[in-house]
Each structure stands twice: as C-alpha cells, then as structure tokens.
Amino acid sequence: MKKLTISILGIALAIALSSCQSKPKMDTKTNLTFGAVKSRIVKGQTTQSEIISLLGSPNITSKNREGNEVWTYAKQSSRQEDTKATMGGGLLGTGAILGGLFGGASKAVSTTSVNTFDLIIIFDQSDIVKDYSVIASKF
C-alpha cells in the first residue's frame, strides 16, 4: 500500500511539473506595440530571423507583385466594463418617480472598446526588412 501511495504521488508530481511551461522571452501579444516596432525594426537592417525572435511567427505570409515576401502580424483586444448607476432615492427624489416609493432606480451600463494593431513587413530578396507599415485603431 505504501509503494502504491508513493507511485501515485510521483505520477501526480510528474503531471504537475510537465504541465508547467516557461513562457518564451518575446510574446507577440505584449511585444506587438508601436514602440517595440519603431525601436527594434530597422529598414535595411533587421532580418527575418530577428523578426521571428522578436514577434514570433506571422499570422499571414504572402508575396507582393515584385516577388518580395510579406509578413502580416495582427493583434486585436477588447475590454468590457460593466457599471451600475443609481439614480435618486427616497420619497421625494428622482427615485420616487423612477424607482418606486422605497428607493432609487438603478441602471446597468456596459461599454466595450476594441483595439486593433496590424503590422505589415516587406522583405527584400536577402530576407532583410525593406519596408513596414503599422495600422492601429481604437473604437
């Protein structure tokens, strides 16, 4: 029985340790910002392997009319905020009209904002950044 308990404990420990993974140094979700792009990508200098180290694999790869490789990175995030507003209160306040005789009325309000960030990189025939563009929006 003692050996069985030790074996089960060892298996559970092995499973727990194998599920722990270290994060890569550069995470596309956090590294894909205008500041990171502007400070680390240099036209005519930065290579494809440096881009992969910085941002990971692109979302889309293609070739343009000139035969240059084009990589696209896209990031989208959204944030939802729920608030509850109470209006008036008491017998003579706004709550008496809106919420009845015993208190104020409350209203739930939800707002959502969406941020998008797209990075398009064009490489020359030597796999060095020829040009890039950033498109960012917030709504």
* Containing structural domain, residue 71: 27-138
Q: How many domains does the chain have?
A: 1
Percentage of residues in the chain with pLDDT exceeding 70?
62
pTM: 0.59
Q: Is 5 among the domain residues?
A: no
| Both structure tokens of 115 | 């941020």
Q: Is the dihedral of CA 94, 98, 103, 109 positive or negative?
A: negative
Is residue 18 domain-resident?
Answer: no
Residue 16 domain flag? no
Contact residues for 96 (Cβ-Cβ < 8 A; gap 6+): 88, 90
Q: Residue 68 gets which letter from DSSP?
A: -
- Tell me, yes or no, whether 37 lies in a domain: yes
Give residue 30's pLDDT: 58
Residue 35 lies in a domain: yes
Pick the range with the lowest mean pLDDT from 11-15, 55-59, 127-131.
11-15
User: What value, to the nearest 5°, has the Cα angle with vertex 138 and ends 137 and 139?
Assistant: 125
Mean pLDDT throughout 96-123? Answer: 76
